[in-house]
Amino acid sequence: MLNIKSLDYRLRFLEDIIFKEEPEIALFKAIFKRLKSILCINQRDRCIDCINNKKCLYNYMSAGDFEYIDSMPIIINKPLFSERSIKKDDVLELNFILLGDSIIHMDFLHYILKEFETRGLFKERYKFCIEGVTEDNVNLSENNDLISSIEILTPIDNSKYIFETDKEKVERLNKLYNITDKKLSIVAESYDFDAVKFDIKNPLYMGSNRIMRRGYVGKVDFKMPVPNNSLLNILNIIGMGKFYGIGGGQIKLHGI
């Protein structure tokens, strides 16, 4: 069993826009800001300090207003670099991944994006139209392929013990959101990681959280090929590292 859903939107913009940050992140933040205004009953306090946080749906969907960025149940996918300037009639592909039990709250995303389509985006009321929406249940790849290398396409937060750390992450997410009943096997084979370090100087403000995005991209080469397994397949869907929720840690598996 794999309880993960992919939600894809095609947004066509009806005027020129220059985003202040990556469009995918800007829209993600706008959606959650609106979600907070709908769901939060105590907006003066941080989620972590709120006496209602254990029963608050906004706290659940936003992982404590992004305080626990490494436990996000809703993921925005984005490339390593996004063009911030969008021309009239350009199309933006907006992809969300919803983990486990968070799927039942998917209609909030539909509602908020339709609301933005009607009234415009941000305080400038930028106009766009939703050209299409696709919902798909994500399935695990069932094969016995051997994996020789992994390309890490967007930054992960560390360059050591990456598979041990990510196994712990997926196990934590599974306890929180009920995403799979598959056994998660550790990737024990030794490897070399030819990594390039990223250090984005400007912090990213998400909810009440200030996030410094420092990480690594590059290629993992296993000394001996490893069997494709449930852990690698799930990481291939959700991304590696603690910044997976905001488009970090996207990977590509290479067989022999």
Q: Which one-letter amino acid corresponds to residue 145? A: D
**In the prediction, which pLDDT does 179 show?**
94
**In the prediction, which pLDDT does 142 show?**
64
The reply to whether domains 4-137 and 146-255 share a CATH topology is yes
Whole-model pTM: value is 0.91
Q: Are 77 and 24 spatial neighbours (Cβ–Cβ below 8 Å)?
A: yes
CATH topology of domain 146-255: Alpha-Beta Plaits (3.30.70)
**In the prediction, which pLDDT does 42 show?**
82
Q: What is the CATH number of domain 4-137?
A: 3.30.70
Cβ-in-10-Å burial (0-12, 13-18, 19+) of 169 comes to buried
Q: What is the pLDDT along the chain (256 residues), one digit of tens a residue?
A: 789 999 999 999 999 999 989 999 999 999 999 999 998 888 777 888 888 878 899 999 999 999 999 999 999 999 888 889 999 999 999 999 999 999 999 999 999 999 999 999 998 899 999 999 999 998 877 677 899 999 999 999 988 889 999 999 999 999 999 999 888 888 888 999 999 998 878 888 888 788 888 899 999 999 999 988 889 999 999 999 999 999 999 999 998 7
Angle at alpha carbon of residue 223, lines to 196 and 253, rounded to 5°: 60
Domain regions of the chain by residue span? 4-137, 146-255
Strands 214-227 and 191-199: antiparallel
Contacts of 52 (CB under 8 A, 6+ apart): 41, 42, 59
